Amino acid sequence: MTAIEKPPNIRDKRIKIITGNHAAAHALRQAKVGVIAAYPITPQSPVVEKIAEFVSKGKLNARFVKVESEHSALAVCCAASATGSRVGTATSSHGLMLMYEMLPWASGNRLPIIINLATRATGAPWSVWTDHQDFITIRDVGWIQMFCMDNQEIYDTNLQAFKIAEDSRVFLPTVVAYDGYILSHTMMPVLIEKQEQIDEFLPPLKHHINLSDVSVVKGIDPVTTPHLRDRGIEGIAPGYFEYRYAMQKALENSIEIITNVHDEFSEKFGRSYGNGIYKTYLAEDADILIFAMGSVASQARNVIGQLRKDGLKVGLVSLKLFRPFPALKLRELFKEAKLVVVFDRDIGYGYEGVLSYELKAALYGLKHAPFIKGFIVGLGGRDVTNQHITIGVNKAIKESETGIISHETDFIGLKLDDLGDYDEKDYFKGG
Amino acid sequence: MVKLMEIPEEEYIFPGTRACAGCSMALIYRIALKALGPKTIITVPASCLTVLHGMQGFCTTKVSVLHTPFATTGASASGIVASLEDKGLADEINVLAFAGDGGTVDIGIQSLSGAVERGTNFIYACYDNEAYMNTGVQRSGSTPHGAYSTTTPNGKTGYKKNMAKILEAHGIPYVATAISSYPLDLFEKFKNAMKIKGPKYIHILAPCPPGWGYNPKDSIEIGRLAVQTGFWPLYEVIEGKFILSKDSQRFLDPTKRKPIGEYLNIQKRFKSISNEDIEIHQNYIEEQWKQIKKRIEND
């Protein structure tokens, strides 16, 4: 399912034992980004540090703009991309949230910027540990969003992400996410390809905007009207509505391009990640499918063998492409399933886990739609254990037998009992 | 000083922009572009200049413009410069950030501070109309004492931020003040800034007919009064050296300065200002010039 099905040949000189953060940094280096602007934040900081090292040692011929905030980081990225450079950055949690204003600016401008996101919970209270809340929170800004499950996948996905984002049918910024600490700080073997091979796969950026060509006067991002506008001999200028329509269409069309780029990569380098959109494990004959992303999917994979020994035909679907949400592909994939158990390391506060409700929406109206049960796990880095997954699957089986669909959230892994006299009405007690 | 005939005839903004009648920002922009020439990229945050540039489908300027969100002008300029350096074009193309007072002294101060601290090679011009005029006259950190705005209906209390001093404290090689009413001085300051590598900052007072409440035909006159009363001293600080500009030199002598009331009383935003407030202004001016005098003597 993941990149390294066979143990890697450690005698292969191309293999480095590195963290997820460094895998991201190596990918940015080999993609030959021209401008990087980044601000340190735990657990992403080692990406910034590694890139600073690459630049200072002359291993990467890029301008590294050491900005004073993430808001400025993405503003620098946007301006540099509009001036025609290939651009990448990295962040986490509050950093991504501070970038928020610039996110729809980048996508609205159709700038192929890559953000590496080492996922982290959002405050308050402070937590530096992983969950997917930061990743989930930016789902409506028009970025392509992908999630990785190991360090090789981080490296490979970055290289694919540039090619996808810079495709003239796409021109959209992309987030490549991986769990903070679980991948960002864990060393794994990563095969770093030869630069010539990467150059063959990823040609230089051919941008649709290039401010540095001063002979062609451009006004980028002026105020738009609600309506089309006649501009004389130049023809008709679109209004805001048309810009955003084009953006949505580019996102919808990108699914095919994402698959193609994944297949091309896999053919060239011999590593594949399902179909580039989701990965399955023992899903073919399964009645019960677990649906999750990143670290949670990795954990679930560990449990499936045991669950199968217990007589449950369980399989796993781990989602790689979260935006655009591959609804049609998922409808096809889940059309035979009886039960889907969704584990969200995030929550749409006031409703339920985001993967859970998005899957429900995607499968709406299927003739034999599966029963879908969602659980919230692992917020703020709470360990997600084999036991949690097993509890979830068993509980979901029980509930599916009643057939009653509930939107009430179910948390697995809470330790309320350990708090002794914990009272929900008095949650500040002892704080 | 530069002579009128030396200012290029070439215009870089088309006539008929959406700026208000009597807008001094439009004048400042016009002069600045004449100084910078065609090989220029401009970055602009939300501001009156966004309005001047017009709606999508039209382009009011003959050089490229990148619009950027309110707080990001400095960072945006950094990004353009970094990309030009990446392409080896940094010495061929001027990068100009052009923002209002709100975008500079308030919401944009962080990204501006960051950009100059990093030594970004660009010119940052702040056209200061002393409030959020584009959104309908709300007070900014640059609104002067006693001025009416929609959010200070009884007049603002407290002085305007001295942004030129704040930028000077960053240790950058060029800081200047200017005003639209002295276009030759303004032109020359942009030219001087262009000669210097590194961050350059020009703070330009920009009288605003609807925001300040005066007849649009008086924009030049009001700007002159700002200088003649000593309210707005024109100067440059080049590599730390303070140079009082020619048009302000005679106001070193307090007897040459017109009383501040002449400047305040013709603006509706100071309509309900008290004698005490006028006194506060007068004292502020005296203090400002004392410091200037000291600096000149010490240099």
Q: Which two tokens stand for residue A4?
A: 């390294």
Nearest by Cα to B160 from B201, B101, B230 = B101
Q: At which residue do the structure tokens 């670290």 appear?
A: A295
Task: Residue window 203-232, chain A: list those with CB within 8 Å of chain B.
Answer: 211-212, 214, 216-225, 229-231
CATH architecture of A15-208+254-268: 3-Layer(aba) Sandwich (3.40)
pLDDT one-digit tens code per residue, B256-289: 999 999 999 999 999 999 999 999 999 999 999 9
Query: For residue A235, what are the contacts with CB-CB under 8 A and spacing of at least 6?
Result: none
- Does the distance separating the beta carbons of B78 and A72 come in below 8 Å? yes
- Does the distance separating the beta carbons of A230 and B41 come in below 8 Å? no
Determine the distance from the C-alpha atom of residue A10 to the mean position of all C-alpha atoms in its chain, rounded to a whole number: 29
The CB density around residue A360, as the number of other CB atoms within 10 Å, is 17
Helix axes A386-402, A294-309, angle to 10 degrees: 70
Instruction: Count Cβ neighbours within 10 Å for each residue of A309-342 and write b for 16 or more, e otherwise.
Output: eeebebbbbbbbbbbbbbeebbbebbeebbbbbb
Query: Bridge partners of B152?
Result: B149
Domain ranges in chain A are 15-208+254-268, 278-419
Answer for the pair A378, A414: CB distance below 8 angstroms, yes or no.
no
Q: Residue B222 maps to which CATH number?
A: 3.40.50.970
User: What is the length of chain A?
Assistant: 431
Domain interval for residue B154: 4-298
* A246 at B interface, C-beta within 8 A: no
Mean pLDDT for back-to-back runs of 10 residues, chain A (431 residues): 60 94 98 98 96 97 97 98 98 98 97 98 95 97 98 98 98 98 97 98 96 89 85 82 95 98 97 97 96 97 96 97 98 95 97 96 95 97 97 96 83 87 68 49
Residue contacts between A and B (CB atoms, under 8 Å): 172
Q: What pLDDT, on the 0 to 100 scale, is given for residue A405? A: 75
- Does the distance separating the beta carbons of B89 and A35 come in below 8 Å? no
Please state whether the peptide bond connecting residue B259 to the residue before it is cis, i.e. omega within 30 degrees of 0.
no
Helix axes B24-36, B219-228, angle to 10 degrees: 80
pLDDT one-digit tens code per residue, B182-203: 999 999 999 999 999 999 999 9
Topology alike, domains A15-208+254-268 and A278-419: yes
- Candidates A212, A231, A243: best to mutate against B (most CBs of B within 10 A) is A212
pLDDT-derived band at B249, boundaries 50, 70, 90: very high
Q: Which of A35, A67, A222 sits opposite B67 (nearest CB)?
A: A222
- Candidates B33, B66, B107: best to mutate against A (most CBs of A within 10 A) is B66
* CA atoms A101, A105, A107, A111: torsion sign: negative
With pLDDT > 90 as the criterion, what percentage of chain B qualifies? 94
What 3-state class would DSSP assign to A190? strand
Closest Cα in chain B, distance from residue A371 (Å): 45
Contacts of A102 in chain B (CB under 8 A): 69, 72
pLDDT one-digit tens code per residue, B49-105: 999 988 887 778 999 999 999 999 999 999 999 999 999 999 999 999 999 999 999
Closest Cα in chain B, distance from residue A145 (Å): 23
Contacts of A212 in chain B (CB under 8 A): 41, 83-84, 87, 89, 93
Q: Which two tokens stand for residue A374?
A: 């969602």
Angle at CA of residue B26, ends B24 and B28, nearest 5°:
70
**A278-419 belongs to CATH 3.40.50.920:** yes
The CB density around residue A308, as the number of other CB atoms within 10 Å, is 14
Answer for the pair A286, A312: CB distance below 8 angstroms, yes or no.
no
- Does the distance separating the beta carbons of A105 and B69 come in below 8 Å? yes
Q: What pLDDT, on the 0 to 100 scale, is given for residue A4? A: 47
Nearest by Cα to B186 from B26, B6, B60, B2 = B2
Looking only at the bridges linking them, the beta strands covering A144-147 and A174-179 are parallel
User: What is the length of chain B?
Assistant: 299
Nearest by Cα to B101 from B177, B161, B173 = B161
- Candidates A100, A101, A211: best to mutate against B (most CBs of B within 10 A) is A211
Q: ipTM, 2 decimals?
A: 0.96
* CA atoms B73, B77, B78, B80: torsion sign: positive
Q: Which two tokens stand for residue B255?
A: 């007897």
Strand spans (E) along chain B: 40-45, 64-68, 94-100, 122-128, 174-179, 199-205, 235-238, 241-244
Q: What pLDDT, on the 0 to 100 scale, is given for residue A5? A: 58
DSSP track, A40-106: --TTTHHHHHHHHHHHHTTSS--EEEE-SSHHHHHHHHHHHHHTT--EEEEE-HHHHHHTTTHHHHH
CA distance B147 to A214: 42
Query: Bridge partners of A323?
Result: A145
Q: Which two tokens stand for residue A362?
A: 């995607």
Answer for the pair B68, A221: CB distance below 8 angstroms, yes or no.
yes
Q: What pLDDT, on the 0 to 100 scale, is given for residue A281? A: 97
The CB density around residue A264, as the number of other CB atoms within 10 Å, is 14
CA distance A48 to A37: 9
Q: Which of A71, A76, A85 sits opposite B71 (nearest CB)?
A: A71
Closest Cα in chain B, distance from residue A204 (Å): 13
Q: Which of A35, A62, A72 sits opposite B111 (nearest CB)?
A: A72
Task: Give the largest CA-CA distance in chain A.
Answer: 76
Nearest by Cα to A159 from A355, A267, A25 = A25
- Does the distance separating the beta carbons of B56 and A224 come in below 8 Å? yes
R_g over Cα of chain B: 18
Q: Report the half-sphere exposure of A203 (CA within 13 A, side-chain side).
A: 5
Q: What is the pTM of this model?
A: 0.96
Contacts of B40 in chain A (CB under 8 A): 214
Q: Which two tokens stand for residue B14?
A: 């088309």
Looking only at the bridges linking them, the beta strands covering B235-238 and B241-244 are antiparallel
Q: What pLDDT, on the 0 to 100 scale, is given for residue A223? A: 86
Tell me the average pLDDT across B147-172. Answer: 96
Nearest CA in chain A to B90: A212
With pLDDT > 70 as the criterion, what percentage of chain B qualifies? 100
Nearest CA in chain B to A61: B86
Query: For residue A80, what are the contacts with CB-CB under 8 A and spacing of at least 6?
Result: A34, A35, A37, A63, A65, A87, B79, B80, B82, B83, B86
Query: For residue A200, what are the contacts with CB-CB under 8 A and spacing of at least 6?
Result: A268
Answer for the pair A110, A171: CB distance below 8 angstroms, yes or no.
yes
Contacts of A31 in chain B (CB under 8 A): none
Closest Cα in chain B, distance from residue A33 (Å): 10
The CB density around residue B266, as the number of other CB atoms within 10 Å, is 16
